[in-house]
Amino acid sequence: MAIIGIDLGTTNSLACVYRSGRAERIPNELGEYKTSSAVSVLEDGTVLVGAAAKERLVTHPEATAASFKIWMGTEKTLTLAERKFKPEELSALVLRQLLEDAKRYLGEPVEEAVISVPAYFNDDQRCATKLAAQLAGLNVKRLINEPSAAALYHRYSAQTGDCQMMIVDFGGGTLDVSIVECFENIIEITAIAGDNRLGGDDIDRAIAAHFCQENGLTEEHLAPALRASLYRQAETAKIALSSAPAASISLQQGEKRYGLVLTNELLRQLCGPVFQKVRGVITRAMKDRSRGGRLNDVILVGGSAQLMVFVDFLEELFGRRPHVAVSPDEIVALGVGLCAGIKERAEDLQDLVMTDVCPFSLGVSTYSRRDDRTPHMAVLIPRSSMLPASHQEQFYTLNDNQTGLRFEIYQGEGYFASENLKLGEVEVQVPPGPAGEQSALVTFTYDIDGILHVSAQSSGGDFRERMILNPNLHLTEEGKAQAMERIRQIQLAAQGDQRDQLLLERALRIYTQTIGQRREMAAGLIGYWKNLMDCGDRIQRRRDYDRIKERLDMLEAAVEEDPLESGIWFGEPEEEEFGQEFEEDSEE
């Protein structure tokens, strides 16, 4: 019985196994290591997975799906040849194919797998991934963040010294940026930031849109097959540009022929908006890290890291050319393969320790005053906390003779509880007494396997515990109708309060963009200002406006202060060594 490691990618998937001291890639039936994460339903109802299915994106777009990973954890259904599939079902089909290939290659049954997910995946998306594995008949105990896997492999294969590095994983549909510290046998992820709707696909889309614009075509009016062909050509041209000065795209529609010549200069221009977003994510990772110090290295992984204009862009950003990993689109899978080895307790891997951080803030809803009608989130485990993490906080009753304390459990970065994802709730009884006398101690523990344990202990001795494994809180039809009704009932903001309202909205935005002390400051300002808004105290607002605004300006300046400009990127001493570890990395 073997354990395999799987990189279940948006675009491509790949499985590895740990054998004779190294992570080994498992080839598919075609003898290739990468399997396209594409699924197509054939006329007889059977299902194709991989490169063949990808071909059918052009020929049978109505029976084929790709890039469905971006819908994981949502209620979206995709229709293939008139059959409906949930995203996790399509992922399960990809996993089944990888499993079949692994069984054939290894000559033994595969019982367990470690699967990687983007670091930025929330709980719903992680649960959907585990569900996909279950549907494929795989036992999955552990999910690992993709950049953690890449860091693990890099550290293991390149034998780098103690260092702090940034890993930028730019794939087909996701961007993950993580900062990793390596010290002796410890690999520690100190910050992660990401965007799970940003990748090479967006570049293909920008190229296709430009093609249509230049040729006076409306993309939405193109026949599905023609449109699919355009996207395919856009991708091919993009890839070709890394080794050729120009590439062309052409479409034939009836008698008419449309064309475009793509150069690196034009590509760079079209990538502008995508790269701006990349810059934002990189900046956030730099700000979120729990420790300061300089970066020794920037490692690029993922298929899109091979894009020359992308490396050029990062070179300008960092003032130095970052490394493209040796096999950028396989390094995650190789790392997951090592991880599978760790699970099997392979001797030579035993002393490798890996830590991770929590990709989102976790907390409970709480009220600041008796008449407070919009609960905000009291964060118990802030984003980027090192895992496992455990925090406690005491909450007090707000009413006399209150009989219990109920806490809704949320994840997310919004100030108000309702802006975040609700994971569950926990309630404890308290003995009667004056307001503020009775309390409950809430404890959050988030373990390395991504399971959140929540407990509440009341002053009266009542104790409740929740383990959040599979929050399933998607709206039912009835729930949707209720939500719509709720929206309909909301009234527009009062006239004359716009300026004050704006100040509040701005504070709320700044809250989501900060962590630590700055976040606390923002929360304090929000609590204070919101109270003045709620009780309609215009005079006090007039008095305080400038003072609050000044503080927000200060916080804002801190948010905007760009660590990219402040010269903290690279340590000087390693200047000479930059790049060498890869030249020596001849693993594959």
Count of CA atoms in the C-beta half-sphere (13 A) of 489: 6
Look at residues 88, 67, 72 and name the one whose alpha carbon lies nearest to residue 9.
67
Residue 307 binds which one of ligand ADP, Mg ion, none, with CB within 5 to 8 A depending on kind?
Answer: ligand ADP
Evaluate whether 249 touches 233 at the Cβ level (below 8 Å).
yes
**Residues 176-215 vs ligand ADP: string with x where CB under 6 A?**
-----------------------xxx--------------
Q: Go through the chain and tell me how many residues it has.
A: 588
**Closest to ligand ADP by CB, 331 or 417:** 331
* CA geometry: angle 367, 373, 376, nearest 5 deg: 45
**Closest to ligand ADP by CB, 73 or 363:** 73
Distance CA 314, CA 331 (A): 20
Instruction: Give min distance, CB of 309 to ligand ADP, in A.
Output: 9
Q: Does 311 bind ligand ADP (CB under 6 A)?
A: no
**Closest to ligand ADP by CB, 150 or 521:** 150
Helices (H), 252-330: 264-270, 272-288, 308-318
Evaluate whether 464 touches 404 at the Cβ level (below 8 Å).
no
Q: Which of 190, 304, 384, 458 binds ligand ADP (CB under 6 A)?
A: 304
**Closest to ligand ADP by CB, 310 or 410:** 310
| Residue 352 burial by Cβ neighbours in a 10 Å radius (0-12, 13-18, 19+) | middle
Look at residues 414, 424, 427 and name the one whose alpha carbon lies nearest to residue 460.
427
Tell whether the torsion through CA atoms of 270, 274, 275 and 277 is positive or negative: positive
Instruction: Give min distance, CB of 268 to Mg ion, in A.
Output: 23
Tokens of 393: 């906080």
Q: Does 9 bind Mg ion (CB under 5 A)?
A: yes
Residue 129 binds which one of Mg ion, ligand ADP, none, with CB within 5 to 8 A depending on kind?
Answer: none
Distance CA 215, CA 209 (A): 10
435 forms beta bridges with: none
Q: Which of 5, 50, 87, 171 binds Mg ion (CB under 5 A)?
A: 171
Cα 223 versus chain centre, distance = 33
Residue 194 binds which one of ligand ADP, Mg ion, none, with CB within 5 to 8 A depending on kind?
Answer: none
Q: Which segment (107-115, 168-176, 377-385, 543-551) binds Mg ion by CB under 5 A? A: 168-176
Residue 200 binds which one of Mg ion, ligand ADP, none, with CB within 5 to 8 A depending on kind?
Answer: ligand ADP
Instruction: Give min distance, CB of 126 to ligand ADP, in A.
Output: 16
Residue 306 binds which one of Mg ion, ligand ADP, none, with CB within 5 to 8 A depending on kind?
Answer: ligand ADP
Instruction: Give min distance, CB of 146 to Mg ion, in A.
Output: 6
Instruction: Give min distance, CB of 351 to ligand ADP, in A.
Output: 29
**Residues 5-44 vs ligand ADP: string with x where CB under 6 A?**
----xxxx--------------------------------
Q: Which segment (94-102, 171-179, 392-400, 489-497) binds ligand ADP by CB under 6 A? A: 171-179
Position with the least CB separation from Mg ion: 171
Distance CA 229, CA 333 (A): 29
Tokens of 120: 């930025």
At residue 267, φ and ψ (nearest 5 deg) are -60, -45
Site size toward ligand ADP, by CB under 6 A: 21
Distance CA 521, CA 252 (A): 59
**Closest to ligand ADP by CB, 186 or 239:** 239
| Residue 549 burial by Cβ neighbours in a 10 Å radius (0-12, 13-18, 19+) | middle
Instruction: Give min distance, CB of 304 to ligand ADP, in A.
Output: 4
**Closest to ligand ADP by CB, 325 or 428:** 325
Place of tokens 């004050």: 500
Evaluate whether 2 touches 106 at the Cβ level (below 8 Å).
yes
Instruction: Report the interface residues with ligand ADP, using CB under 6 A.
Output: 9-12, 171-174, 199-201, 235, 238-239, 242, 302-304, 306-307, 329
Residues that bind Mg ion (CB under 5 A): 9, 171
